[in-house]
Amino acid sequence: MKINNNFDVILSIDPGLVSCGFSVLKKQGENVFLLEYGVLKMRSSQSVPDRLGQFYTFCQEKISLYQINCLALETPFLGKNASSFLKLGYLRGVLYLISNLNNLRLLEFSPCEVKSTLTGYGFAQKEQVARFLMKLFPTISASTKLDATDALAVGLCCAMRSF
């Protein structure tokens, strides 16, 4: 689905209930432009429903502001903490709902696929991916949180592989 025959706007999210990375990319032809990136901070003292509401509002504002037409996510993996995995699922559920309500394309990429697309090596370290992104987008500083560069990596993978 296109908002214009010439470009797509991708919101990529690295979900977290305390620190949530995001980026907004515009793909026009073969060019990809970084419009915004950062981290949505939420207080751990807030209830989970309050944080989900904050996350929902934040995403809806980005969708409206940038006329987003695609959401990009990394597929989840079960780490050591099942409780964290479950809570991550709450945020993912919100994103699925947002995608449906806004008629957005939702694409998911495995961590290995993201790293392989960007660095050529599917088991690259997060810091290697961040360095690659800093070279590609000079506005990104070395102090940028990995949550933000993780989200940006997913968005760039989406731009490179899906359109």
pLDDT tens, per residue, the chain with 163 residues: 333 444 699 999 999 999 999 999 999 988 999 999 999 999 999 999 999 999 999 999 999 999 999 999 998 866 667 777 788 899 999 999 999 999 999 999 999 999 999 999 999 999 999 999 999 999 998 888 999 999 999 999 999 986 5
pTM over 0.95: no
Q: Residue 56 falls within a domain, yes or no?
A: yes
Q: Residue 63 falls within a domain, yes or no?
A: yes
Q: Residue 149 falls within a domain, yes or no?
A: yes
**Distance from C-alpha of 12 to C-alpha of 156, rounded to nearest angstrom:** 9
**Distance from C-alpha of 124 to C-alpha of 128, rounded to nearest angstrom:** 6
Q: Residue 1 falls within a domain, yes or no?
A: no
Q: Residue 145 falls within a domain, yes or no?
A: yes
**Distance from C-alpha of 5 to C-alpha of 43, rounded to nearest angstrom:** 40
How many domains does the chain divide into?
Answer: 1
Task: Report residue 136 CA to chain centroid gap.
Answer: 17
Helix H or strand E encompassing 163: none
Catalytic one among 8, 36, 50, 74?
Answer: 74
Q: Residue 109 falls within a domain, yes or no?
A: yes
Q: Which amino acid is residue 126, in one-letter code?
A: K
CATH assignment of the domain containing 120: 3.30.420.10
Q: Is residue 50 annotated as part of the catalytic site, yes or no?
A: no
Q: Residue 92 falls within a domain, yes or no?
A: yes
Catalytic one among 30, 108, 127, 147?
Answer: 147
Q: Is residue 74 annotated as part of the catalytic site, yes or no?
A: yes
Q: Is residue 14 annotated as part of the catalytic site, yes or no?
A: yes
Tokens of 95: 């994103």
Tokens of 145: 């949180």
Contact 11, 151 (CB under 8 A): no
**Distance from C-alpha of 19 to C-alpha of 150, rounded to nearest angstrom:** 12
Sheet holding 70-74, edge to edge: 31-41, 19-28, 7-14, 70-74, 105-109
Domain that residue 140 falls in = 7-162
Contact 119, 99 (CB under 8 A): no
- At residue 16, the pLDDT reads 92
Q: Residue 2 falls within a domain, yes or no?
A: no
Closest among 150, 152, 129, 147 to 39, alpha carbons compared: 147
